[in-house]
């Protein structure tokens, strides 16, 4: 099946590891499930996967151009209803067996995943589930060439000065406070100048499938700090703050 897409969603469809992870998680559901919500459905690819496993799929997309692509792509699927609406403004009438919400980004900082899920899961059955199930965030000490927040993409250079430490885990069935604040102690590995943090997010689709960063799913985020000389086995204490859903402008870091 060929999908109409925006340029951005065309890149999403080319990310085979991302698509395979969501496809495998969705395929664990049998065809006797009743209602699924696909929140921020984009081009509609995940709704297409859901269509074989649920009696009714309600797919919400607030961007008009993207909504039109999804509506055209899914026009022949009688069990899929595509709606042009913000999730936070939509009147959910039925309780869902499954919520799919792929508004993913590193540490959930730059997308509205947490506000959306906190709102929508009020309309999830007691036995219902969410895909993805949650995330795991890790942090490393690094030396950066750039003095502003940026993503780890082609052409970005940095040196790592620690092992990756898990600093937070979230299960989306829990109520999550979007205002994140934590003091993190990181053990230095090697000697040199540290001036930043590298945050990496792993997406937990379900209890059996964890997807690491892919080209279009949570590229690691590089955050500047002041210069500090570290020696091997030093413990560096850093305060990390951000607001999930409010963008990288909300990030604040400092040594303690």
For the stretch 56-91, pLDDT in tens is 999 999 999 999 999 999 999 999 999 999 999 998
* Ranges of the chain with pLDDT below 50: none
Which contiguous run of DSSP H or E holds residue 66? helix 64-73
The domain covering 7-102 belongs, at the CATH homologous superfamily level, to: Vaccinia Virus protein VP39 (3.40.50.150)
Domain locations in the chain as residue ranges: 7-102, 135-255
Which residues on adjacent β-strands are paired with residue 183? 239
Q: What is the pLDDT of residue 135?
A: 97
CB 164 within 8 A of CB 200: yes
Confidence (pLDDT) at 33: 79
pLDDT digits (tens, 9 = 90+) for 162-190: 999 999 999 999 999 999 999 999 999 99
pTM over 0.85: yes
pLDDT at position 232 is 98
Instruction: Say if domain 135-255 classifies as CATH 2.60.200.20.
Output: no
Give the pLDDT confidence score for residue 85 in this predicted structure.
97
At 37 the pLDDT is: 98
CA 132 to CA 136: how far, in whole Å?
A: 11
Determine the Cα angle at 137 with ends 221 and 47, to 5°: 85
């Amino acid at each position: 099946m060929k999908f109409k897409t925006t340029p951005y969603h065309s890149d999403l469809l080319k990310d085979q590891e991302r698509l395979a992870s969501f496809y495998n998680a969705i395929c664990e559901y049998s065809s006797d499930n009743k209602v699924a919500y696909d929140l921020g459905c984009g081009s509609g690819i995940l709704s297409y996967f859901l269509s074989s496993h649920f009696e009714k799929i309600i797919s919400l997309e607030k961007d008009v151009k993207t909504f039109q692509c999804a509506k055209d792509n899914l026009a022949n699927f009688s069990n899929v209803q595509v709606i042009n609406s913000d999730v936070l403004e939509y009147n959910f009438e039925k309780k869902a067996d499954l919520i799919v919400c792929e508004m993913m980004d590193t540490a959930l900082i730059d997308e509205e995943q947490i506000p959306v899920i906190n709102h929508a899961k009020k309309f999830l059955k007691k036995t219902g589930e969410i895909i993805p199930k949650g995330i795991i965030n890790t942090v490393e000490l690094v030396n950066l060439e750039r003095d502003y927040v940026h993503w780890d993409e082609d052409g970005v250079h940095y040196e790592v000065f620690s092992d990756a430490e898990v600093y937070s885990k979230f299960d989306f069935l829990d109520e999550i406070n979007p205002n994140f604040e934590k003091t993190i102690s990181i053990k230095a590995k090697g000697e040199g100048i540290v001036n930043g943090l590298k945050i990496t997010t792993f997406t937990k689709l379900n209890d059996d499938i964890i997807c690491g960063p892919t080209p279009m799913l949570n590229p690691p985020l590089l955050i500047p700090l002041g210069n500090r000389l570290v020696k091997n086995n030093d413990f560096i204490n850093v305060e990390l703050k951000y607001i999930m859903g409010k963008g990288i402008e909300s990030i604040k870091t400092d040594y303690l």
